[in-house]
Amino acid sequence: MAPQTVICIGMAGSGKTTFMQRLNSHLYSKKTPPYVINLDPAVLKVPFGANIDIRDSVKYKKVMENYNLGPNGAIVTSLNLFSTKIDQVISLVEKKSDKFKNVIIDTPGQIECFIWSASGAIITEAFASTFPTVIAYIVDTPRNTSPTTFISNMLYACSILYKTKLPMIIVFNKTDVQKADFAKEWMTDFEAFQNALKADEDSNDGQSSGYMNSLVNSMSLMLEEFYSQLDVVGVSSYTGEGFDEFLDAVDNKVDEYEKFYKAERERILKEKEEKEKNKKEKNLSHLMNDLGISGKGKKDEVDVISDTESIEEGEHDGILPTDEEEGIEREYTFPEDRNAGEVNDNSNEALQARYQEAYEKVAKEASSQTAENIANYIRQ
């Protein structure tokens, strides 16, 4: 059975790396160690043992120096360089797939460097097309107690869901600091979110923007359908609370992947192959028409300029006989020297002399003819 792949994505500071550490140790405690991959090239130290580490392949500081890049540009470039070897990474994971049930992947803290870059899409697609893959979107719970911040984070999660087209689990992290009950209620009860938004407006003594509240209201209505597609869990990477629930959610999303997402992905790929096939057939048909060839291999009548068209049907079968076959003797321009017509460094002076001689002869004849014409005109 193919291993379950969990790609951990989240805003900077949401606790992705700590979540990865706790998930890794939790799976070890269950005697099911995962296959761990680190895709953050800028991290100095990871608190877990990575089976594949991007830092072994790409030196982040060297990338900054060699390409004159800033931190984010260097991360994107490092991911681009790593993605060129993604087939080797997939091959390594496949070879170990019989020994691991889970593959967990840590991504850069700069979320846009991974999600919205071409390399991020290549890496995600490579895993999703080979293994059942789930996105774990990590949320910093204490920082999302404000309805405005919460809805912004949910919008980002929504964009990632439709960008990756993969099952998603919303993981409210740091529940040891702030319980995630309020967030779960906001996602299931629209009126509760409206009340929280009103309370937040009142607590700011009317200083909050009315436009912002109106926008948040509208977005919360839109996101109701989005919430229905998600599994939501609260975890504490510090205490280990909620990780059994998270693994249950992963199993649930893997089943969902097999039933719906995999079929949809196969349909999209098949549709793409059909379009490519039809495009090739259409191009071939145009080429055959341009060449005057029908689909059955018969030659159509085409207007062309050719000496062979003047030959009657069956005569020579369109092939003209050579001079030797017709017994014609070729005459050379310079019979005394067959190489005289060749222009090279040796013959250049002789050729120039012949040109000069011909020019003088023509000029002399023209001059004589002109003089004769003038004399005739005077006599008249």
Q: Taking a C-beta distance cutoff of 8 angstroms, is the pair 114, 42 a contact?
A: no
Query: Does any domain span residue 187?
Result: yes
Range of the domain at 26: 4-266
Look up the pTM and report it. Answer: 0.70
Query: Does any domain span residue 111?
Result: yes
Q: CA 213, CA 193: separation in Å to the nearest integer?
A: 12
Query: Does any domain span residue 294?
Result: no
Query: Does any domain span residue 350?
Result: no
Q: CA 179, CA 142: separation in Å to the nearest integer?
A: 8
Query: Does any domain span residue 273?
Result: no
- The pLDDT value recorded for residue 373 is 63
- The pLDDT value recorded for residue 50 is 93
pLDDT means over runs of 10, the chain (380 residues): 91 92 95 94 91 93 93 93 93 91 92 90 92 95 92 92 92 95 91 87 66 82 84 94 95 89 79 86 81 56 47 50 56 49 55 70 68 60
- Joined together, the tokens standing for residue 366 give 């023209």
Q: CA 190, CA 219: separation in Å to the nearest integer?
A: 11
- The pLDDT value recorded for residue 309 is 47
Report the CATH number that the domain containing residue 73 is assigned in CATH: 3.40.50.300
When divided into structural domains, the chain yields a total of 1
- The pLDDT value recorded for residue 304 is 46
Query: Does any domain span residue 321?
Result: no
Q: Is 81 helix (H, G, I), strand (E, B) or coil?
A: helix
For residue 37, what are the β-bridge partners? Answer: 52, 105
| CA nearest neighbour of 158 among 97, 72, 219 | 219
- The pLDDT value recorded for residue 140 is 95
- The pLDDT value recorded for residue 324 is 57
Query: Does any domain span residue 360?
Result: no
Query: Does any domain span residue 109?
Result: yes
